[in-house]
């Protein structure tokens, strides 16, 4: 095949689909979804088998495998502290991963690419709800500027390749996600896994289930340099450091801010739907993947508390930062496409808790 010539074919159960980042939280949900739906020609590699930062490795891989469709769920991802401390790593790795993937899709005739971004691409001061046209309209939030810039660049790369080469590369922007293979490190976890583990540990403590607590500590790191101290520090002290006392859980901030949370399985469902049904021209290259609704943190806290079955008190530490007031994405463009998230927050958290308990 000549360079850049796209193979024309529709998605079918034998299509060769490369899922980049298949071991991550989002990539693993995509892999499970496609396997469940009977797609039988899926290809995936760990980062040690194929380092997407290395252009030659990526081009050789595409030349050898010639995938028909590609989903990019590979990225260097981290919390505010990591983003703020290592901006060079975040921008370098994410730019290299997306540039190598997008250019190889072009060189080796990939029919369609789904490129995953995130709501952090929107400017710090953009009004809510966040519309797709606000991309690059003003400055990013400083703490994750490097990550946001690399993600916004990937969207623009897809758009420019579509414009110049007639490719079909779609970028999807989901909100904060949670799901299987999530990070439960109490120092670096996102809101939901953090709350879930905290209430779970608080319930065990309420029930004096010390073996249960030790078992939990052995499965996931606590962070905050606590892991090396576990054997010689009283459990009460370790728990206090992560906001748990007998009958009392402390949550950072006052609970008044709003967040949109989505289950990773819903994003996987969107990836399949878009790969099958939507072209870049239908969405002006990219679209928010959103329910269009958010929820106050104190209500999320209450849902998690009820699902875990913790009976004690909740205290809000108002001296700690709340984070941004709201970051709700606009659903207008998505609503014209006949796809909606299907899993309610309550049932997603119930499912997520079962997964956590089975670890
Ligand atoms: N997590 C969220 O809340 C969220 C929200 C919105 C959007 N997203 C987007 O979803 C995507 C995936 O995020 P995630 O949370 O699933 O991240 P994750 O759990 O950290 O997984 C990232 C994956 O990327 C792979 N990877 C990283 N560097 C690589 C490299 N140099 N070469 C090959 N593979 C590499 C890793 O592969 P190995 O495991 O093999 O090392 C890992 O499996 C990102 O684009 C992110 O922006 C995430």
For residue range 115-124, list pLDDT tens digits in order.
999 999 999 9
Q: Pick from 256, 239, 253, 257: which is nearest to 200 by CA?
A: 239
| H-run or E-run covering 170 | strand 169-173
Answer yes or no: CATH 3.10.450.100 is held by domain 17-179+261-292+327-342. no
104-118, 314-328, 340-354: which has the minimum mean pLDDT? 314-328
C-alpha 282 to ligand 1 mean position (Å): 26
Give the whole-angstrom CA distance, residue 266 versus residue 308: 22
Res 324: pLDDT: 86
Structure tokens at 5: 């010539």
Residue 283 pLDDT exceeds 60? yes
Q: Pick from 283, 272, 281: which is nearest to 337 by CA?
A: 283
Catalytic residue, chosen from 44, 147, 169, 310, is 147
- HEC string for 42-87: EECCCCCCCCCCCHHHHHHHHHHHCCCEEEECCCCCCCHHHHHHCH
Q: Whose CA is nearest to atom 41 of ligand 1?
A: 47
C-alpha 232 to ligand 1 mean position (Å): 35
Read off the pLDDT of residues 188-242 as tens digits, 9 standing for 90 and up.
899 999 999 999 999 999 999 999 999 999 999 999 899 999 999 999 999 999 9
Read off the pLDDT of residues 29-62 as tens digits, 9 standing for 90 and up.
999 999 999 999 999 999 999 999 999 999 999 9
Contact between residue 69 and residue 18 where contact means Cβ atoms under 8 Å apart: yes
Residue corresponding to tokens 């850049």: 4
C-alpha 76 to ligand 1 mean position (Å): 6
C-alpha 129 to ligand 1 mean position (Å): 26
Residue 1 pLDDT exceeds 50? no
Q: Whose CA is nearest to atom 39 of ligand 1?
A: 23
Q: Name all residues whose Cβ lies below 6 A of ligand 1.
A: 21, 23-27, 46-47, 51-53, 73-77, 93, 97, 116, 118, 174, 176-177, 190
Q: Whose CA is nearest to atom 12 of ligand 1?
A: 73
Summarize the chain as % helix, strand, coil (round to 5).
45, 15, 40
Q: How many CA atoms lie within 13 A of 93 on its CB side?
A: 14
Contact between residue 253 and residue 260 where contact means Cβ atoms under 8 Å apart: no
Give the whole-angstrom CA distance, residue 62 versus residue 110: 9
Res 321: pLDDT: 84
Quote the percentage of the chain above a pLDDT of 70.
Answer: 97
Give the whole-angstrom CA distance, residue 143 versus residue 148: 10
**293 phi and psi angles, rounded to 5 deg:** -130, 145
Q: Whose CA is nearest to atom 24 of ligand 1?
A: 74
Contact between residue 105 and residue 162 where contact means Cβ atoms under 8 Å apart: no
The per-residue b/e assignment along 45-61, b for 16 or more CB within 10 angstroms, e otherwise, is beeeebebbeeeebeeb
Residue 8 pLDDT exceeds 60? no
Q: Pick from 35, 91, 36, 41: which is nearest to 70 by CA?
A: 41
Contact between residue 113 and residue 167 where contact means Cβ atoms under 8 Å apart: yes
Give the whole-angstrom CA distance, residue 359 versus residue 357: 6
Structure tokens at 247: 């009958």
Res 205: pLDDT: 97
Q: Rounded mean pLDDT of the chain?
A: 95
Read off the pLDDT of residues 306-330 as tens digits, 9 standing for 90 and up.
999 999 999 999 998 888 899 999 9
106 is catalytic: no
**263 phi and psi angles, rounded to 5 deg:** -80, 140
Angle among Cα 259, 260, 265 to the nearest 5 degrees reads 145
> Residue 324 CB: number of other CB atoms within 10 A?
12
């Amino acid at each position: 095949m000549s360079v850049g010539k796209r193979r024309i074919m529709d998605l079918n159960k034998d299509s060769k689909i490369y899922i980049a980042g298949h071991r991550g939280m989002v990539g693993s949900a995509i892999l499970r979804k496609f396997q469940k739906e009977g797609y039988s020609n899926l290809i995936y590699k760990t980062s040690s088998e194929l380092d997407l930062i290395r252009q030659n490795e990526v081009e050789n891989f595409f030349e050898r495998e010639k995938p028909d469709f590609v989903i990019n769920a590979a990225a260097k991802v981290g919390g505010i502290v990591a983003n703020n401390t290592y901006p060079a790593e975040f921008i370098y790795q994410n730019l290299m991963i997306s540039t190598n993937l997008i250019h190889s899709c072009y060189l080796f005739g990939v029919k369609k690419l789904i490129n995953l971004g995130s709501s952090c691409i929107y400017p710090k001061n953009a009004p809510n709800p966040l519309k797709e046209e606000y991309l690059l309209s003003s400055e990013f939030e400083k703490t994750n500027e490097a990550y946001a810039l690399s993600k916004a660049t990937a969207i623009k790369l897809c758009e420019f390749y579509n414009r110049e080469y007639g490719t079909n590369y779609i970028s999807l922007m989901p909100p904060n996600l949670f799901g299987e293979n999530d990070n439960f490190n109490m120092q670096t976890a996102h809101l939901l896994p953090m709350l879930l583990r905290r209430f779970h540990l608080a319930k065990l403590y309420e029930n004096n289930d010390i073996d249960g607590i030790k078992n939990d500590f052995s499965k996931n790191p606590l962070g905050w340099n606590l892991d090396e101290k576990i054997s010689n520090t009283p459990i009460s002290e370790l728990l206090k450091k992560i906001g748990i006392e007998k009958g009392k859980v402390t949550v950072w901030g006052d609970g008044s801010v709003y967040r949109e949370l989505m289950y990773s399985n819903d994003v996987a469902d969107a990836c399949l739907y878009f790969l099958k049904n939507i072209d870049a021209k239908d969405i002006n290259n990219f679209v928010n993947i959103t329910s269009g609704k958010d929820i106050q943190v104190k209500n999320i806290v209450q849902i998690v508390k009820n699902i875990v079955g913790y009976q004690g008190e909740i205290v809000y530490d108002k001296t700690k930062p709340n984070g941004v007031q709201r970051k709700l994405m606009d659903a207008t463009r998505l609503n014209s496409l006949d796809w909606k998230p299907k899993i309610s927050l309550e049932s997603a958290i119930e499912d997520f808790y079962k997964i956590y308990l089975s670890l």
